[in-house]
Amino acid sequence: MTYVSDPAAPRIAIAGATGAVGNTLIELISSRGLRHRGVRLAASARSAGRTVEVDGRAQVVEDLDGFDFTDVDLAFFSAGTSVSEKWARPAAAQGALVIDNTNAFRMDPDTPLVVPQVNADVLLAGRPASGIIANPNCSTIPLVRLLQTVEQRWGIRQVVVSTYQAASGQGQHGIAELREGSALALSDPDAELPADRFKPALAFNVVPFIDKLLDTGFTMEEQKMLQESRKILGLPHLDVTTTCVRVPVVNSHSEAVWIEATEPVDRAELVGRLAALPEVTVHDKDTPGGFPTPRTAGEPDHVHVGRIRVAPHNPRGFWLWLVADNVRIGAALNAVQIAEYVLDRGLL
């Protein structure tokens, strides 16, 4: 973390500092050397009063109720949708630019939804009317980072995605529940497993249900991937359909992505274009190790892509397999990269 006295450097607040994404935000602000004039921590009453280490020093988490944002330039929110719904607009009204990690404002027309590698230019219009910039869903971010180049070169007719989402999408409690359930199941196959964050229990299971069910029969998580992709890519009729599934992986989401383009796709050109994208690693060796998995992908700040193959019977259709760290790329890193873009261009 780089404290500077430069009055152009922002005063930062982090709401939700005690969670998995909040912890990673603090780590990334430090490791990436984001210049600032101080970081304050906030949370809802339940977590206020705890201490969190910031750059090696224990710092007390303040209560969002009564928190004064008038001296804050940049506020990261990652304490859940209901917390953002309650406190993000007041923070923005007090003058802070809010970067919100939740679902609260993503589809708000006054709030840009930003993946810096894809559509950062929407930020050049200046401070959003809502005072908020929204961070997309963890599964949407890596997907749109790959879709943009496909759309520009070949056009997209349809995208069909099945996800393999990690326990860390439910934060540290989700990880703990998976670990506890797995240990129990190993010691006693008939044990009743904890099923609070995941229903039914996730240990040695796959659960095709994330977030709540909508009238359409799709889950909110599945609808997010459609609506957010359309907004980020500026393609209001983009056809993305998804089944979102939780898998017993600790961290990093995977996605099996089928894309039908409007033009025939040359595989070598596709591989070359994906490999040329910023912070994307293509795994394209013919060995069994030549594809990414959550535990072996490597560089956590890259989107990892493998199993790239055009259908023999349909030269417009191809598969991708992507793996991305959902806490970093899918949340905290994307938020910090939004902040870097804003600060680098003096847009605060």
Q: Which residues bind a copy of itself (CB under 8 A)?
A: 160, 162, 164, 179, 182-183, 186, 199-201, 204-209, 213, 216-218, 239, 241, 243, 245, 247-250, 254, 256, 258, 267, 286, 288-289, 291, 293-296, 306-314, 317, 319, 321
165 annotated to bind ligand: yes
Nearer CB in complex with a copy of itself: 129/311 = 311
246 annotated to bind ligand: yes
Q: How far is CA 230 from CA 33, 207, 319, in A?
A: 33, 26, 20
Query: Smallest gap, in angstroms, from Cβ of residue 339 to a copy of itself?
Result: 30
Known catalytic membership, residue 253: yes
Q: Is the peptide bond before 288 cis (omega within 30 degrees of 0)?
A: no
Query: Smallest gap, in angstroms, from Cβ of residue 189 to a copy of itself?
Result: 9
Q: Residue 77: beta bridge partners?
A: 15, 100
Query: Smallest gap, in angstroms, from Cβ of residue 219 to a copy of itself?
Result: 9
111 annotated to bind ligand: no
Nearer CB in complex with a copy of itself: 129/214 = 214
Helix (H, G, I), strand (E, B) or coil at 121: helix
Known catalytic membership, residue 138: yes
**Using an 8 Å Cβ cutoff, are 12 and 59 in contact?**
no
Q: At what angle do helices 20-31 and 171-187 cross, to 10 degrees?
A: 120
325 exposure class (CB count in 10 Å sphere: 0-12, 13-18, 19+): buried
User: Which sign does the torsion angle of CA 186, 188, 193, 194 carry?
Assistant: negative
Residue among 36, 244, 253, 283 flagged as catalytic: 253
Nearer CB in complex with a copy of itself: 99/249 = 249
Q: Residue 113: beta bridge partners?
A: 134
Query: Smallest gap, in angstroms, from Cβ of residue 18 to a copy of itself?
Result: 22
**Span between the terminal Cα atoms of the chain, in Å:** 19
169 annotated to bind ligand: yes
Nearer CB in complex with a copy of itself: 37/319 = 319
**CB contact set of 276 (below 8 Å; sequence gap of 6+):** none
Catalytic residue numbers, as ranges: 138, 253
The binding site for phosphate consists of: 106
The binding site for NADP(+) consists of: 18-21, 46-47, 168-169, 189, 326
The binding site for substrate consists of: 165, 246
